[in-house]
Chain A
């Protein structure tokens, strides 16, 4: 898989995921939003795009070494790995400065589910683009 393809799939999937994450938290209400919806839409789309780019880039880089076959599973492994690394860093920070970085278990569960969702969305975009290239 070429890096360019990974990034295009990542940015597309990331933007979709950002909107989905906003919708999921609006439904679950696990964290009551402090900003207005339109403001959050912009932030979630940009945040999602950045997460998607990193996921897509790592997916392209590790495409041949990932121990699974399907594009969706590969992308999910990468996105969960990224989330766990960031969460691990967060745990270290919360140990060092518990006031500024305190973890909430139920938010972490939602975050893990959303990281799986990011992988699924990016994987679907990758598969869709691969099919398009095959039929073009």
Chain B
């Protein structure tokens, strides 16, 4: 029984961490392409960072 609980908890942790990585990947795309329509102000906020890592920007 205890083993089942441990396995279930491990599964939930794995799913939660995977969702966290997906959320970060989404945030990364917003930062890299400066999508102000989704995250207002992100274009200007990360302007220097974007140029430094060699991504196209104006």
Interface residues of A (CB under 8 A from B): 3-4, 7, 21-22, 24-25, 30-31, 33-35, 40, 43-44, 47, 50-51, 53-54, 57-58, 83, 86-87, 89-91, 93-94, 99-104, 107-112, 114-115
CA gap between A33 and B6 in the complex, in Å: 50
CA distance A99 to B24 in the complex (A): 27
B56 & A94 in contact (Cβ 8 Å cutoff): yes
List, sorted by A's number, 28 A–B pairs whose CB atoms are closer than 8 Å: A3-B14, A7-B20, A25-B48, A31-B52, A35-B47, A35-B48, A43-B46, A43-B49, A44-B52, A47-B49, A50-B24, A50-B27, A50-B31, A53-B21, A53-B24, A54-B21, A54-B24, A54-B25, A90-B32, A93-B33, A99-B58, A101-B56, A102-B57, A104-B54, A104-B56, A107-B52, A108-B54, A109-B54
Is residue B28 contacting chain A, with contact meaning CB distance below 8 A? yes
**Residues of B within 8 Å of A, CB-based: how many?**
27
CA distance A114 to B7 in the complex (A): 39
The docked-state distance in angstroms from the alpha carbon of A40 to that of B47 is 9
Q: Which residue of B lies closest to A95 (CB)?
A: B56
CB of B28 within 8 A of CB of A54, answer yes
Interface residues of B in 34-58 (CB under 8 A from A): 45-49, 51-58
